[in-house]
Amino acid sequence: MEKSDVIVIGGSAAGLTAALTSRRHYPEKEVLLVRREQQVLIPCGIPYIFGTVGSPEKNLIPDALLEKNGIRLLVTDATYVDRTAKRVDTPKGQLQFDRLVLATGSLPAMPPIPGFDLDGVFTIRKEIDYLRNLQQRLAGCRDVVIIGGGFIGIEFADEVRKMAGERTLSIVEALSHCLVLAYDDEFSTVMESHLRERGIHLYTSSRVDRILGDKTVKGLQLADGTKLKADAVILGIGAVANVELAKTAGLRLGPTGGIQVDRTMQTSDGNIFACGDCAEKTSFFGGRPSPLKLASIATLEARIAGANLFGLRRESPGTVGAWSTAVGDLALGTAGLTERMARDRGYQTVATTVEGPNRHPGSMPGACNTRLKLVFEAGTHVLLGGQIQGDAAIGEVVNLLSACVQQRMTVEDIAMFQAGTHPALTASPIAYALVNAAELAIQKMRGAARGA
């Protein structure tokens, strides 16, 4: 029986990061990564295979990272974990471990829609052959319908739009707006207008009654009776934790279906840790369960799990949630809570929005109008979250906002933020959006206090 100090099961963002972290913190330990895929896709890059990047082979995580760091790789399935014997069973033999990390990821959510099993209905799988088949199928399609108007849905629609050939593209979203779970309405509606300008048809507040066809998909019918033609349907409605291995091992599961972990990423077995989409999440805001599944969260959890294997060194603060969405030259981003999320959680809020160019003067080449919205808790004046609309530059602004949220900065802290500015790179120091939004929030709070 082969033995390794650390075995990591799963080779995507969480698994790879956990293996690298454990190697860095415990260089004397032997680390073995077990995964089922011969090659691993970059999860967030999957929509871009169909347009910008062009093929699955151009969207791979390089195995050189494993070789460079002395991490052994075994490509096979992990079929069973015996916790008492500290053993993993695989078709290639049994493996002994001292510490085990489960990073088994997630699986596409499958809605109970009649016709979901017809030929021509696809989910978003992290499998090269499956995605190559989807790419070939889409090349000959005239009518493509995407069910789900979240990140994956809108990015898939726009990337398929870039493929050669003429086709009609439609998105069906059950909620009132696309991206409504990620942004407040004033941001979601801007993206919807942008998608329509790019020739994508949107059906919001619309539920799918059934997918139509005999053996092969021919279309779908909405709950209001509307019928849409389709020779391909893509389901982009989210993911569920892949916990089968954990369940058969008898590990405790959490309220949202993920593997139950504490803040050190330790499971109900002290020798087993879990991270990434398969692990249960706890929100930074109040500690309630969080449904978020993001690669950035997965790698944070992996850095915690990998560091804690032979001595507890790190704890998770809970999921803040930071993300961006880009279609063409329009980008949106959120860190922390939107105003709607905050109010749904019972917070009393003060929100302010500022707009202006991200260069100075606004006539500088590359200048783009940006909109920034900050949401503060009314009583403590602590930043709960922020949203931004602009161009590609907003990606790092979202990360800055996330840092402010994690440090529980107050409105006064942000108003006193010391920023570096440059005409070709940032907005004017006079009109720096982050600071000005905070100053406006202070004005609002003082006005509310006087009114009280």
Tens of pLDDT, residue by residue over 122-140, are: 999 999 999 999 999 999 9
Domain ranges of the chain: 2-107+240-308, 110-237, 330-451
Task: Please state, in angstroms and rounded to a whole number, the distance separating the CA atoms of residues 78 and 86.
Answer: 13
**Cα-based distances in Å from 304 to 195, 275, 296, 311, 318:** 38, 9, 13, 11, 12
Q: Which residues pair with 349 in a beta bridge?
A: 377
- For the segment(s) 2-107+240-308, the CATH number from 3.40.50.720, 3.20.190.10, 1.20.140.10, 3.50.50.60 is 3.50.50.60
Cβ of 130: how many Cβ atoms within 10 Å?
14
Whether 247 shows a pLDDT value over 70: the answer reads yes
Per residue in 322-380, pLDDT (tens digit) is: 999 999 999 999 999 999 999 999 999 999 999 999 999 999 998 999 999 999 999 99
Task: Give 21's Cβ-side CA count (13 Å radius).
Answer: 24
How far apart are the C-alpha atoms of 123 and 148, rounded to whole Å? 11
Domain covering 330-451: architecture: 2-Layer Sandwich (3.30)
CA distances from 72 to 93, 98, 423 (A): 15, 16, 49
The pLDDT, as a whole number, for residue 449 is: 72
Give per-residue pLDDT as tens, 252-283.
Answer: 999 999 999 999 999 999 999 999 999 999 99
Residue-level pLDDT at 447: 82
pLDDT in tens, 4-50: 999 999 999 999 999 999 999 999 999 999 999 999 999 999 999 99
Of the candidates 440, 447, 423, 443, the one whose C-alpha atom is nearest the C-alpha of residue 355 is 440
Domains 2-107+240-308 and 110-237 belong to one CATH topology: yes
Round to whole Å and give the CA distance between 395 and 333.
7
Under a CB-based contact definition with an 8 Å cutoff, are residues 433 and 372 in contact?
Answer: yes
Q: Which residues pair with 154 in a beta bridge?
A: none
pTM as predicted: 0.95
**Nearest CA to 79 among 95, 63, 66?**
95
Residue 450 has pLDDT above 90, yes or no: no
Return the CATH architecture of domain 110-237: 3-Layer(bba) Sandwich (3.50)
pLDDT band at 111 (very low <50, low <70, confident <90, very high): confident
Instruction: Look up tokens 């910008």; give the residue.
Output: 52
173 in Cβ contact with 203 (< 8 Å): yes
Predicted pLDDT at 452: 60
* Cα 92 to Cα 2: distance, rounded to the nearest angstrom: 10
Mean pLDDT of 276-299: 96
Q: Summarize the confidence of residues 404-423 as an average pLDDT.
A: 96
Give the number of other Cβ atoms within 10 Å of residue 447's Cβ: 10
CB-based contact 53:44 (threshold 8 Å): no
Specify whether the CB–CB gap between 235 and 108 falls below 8 A: yes
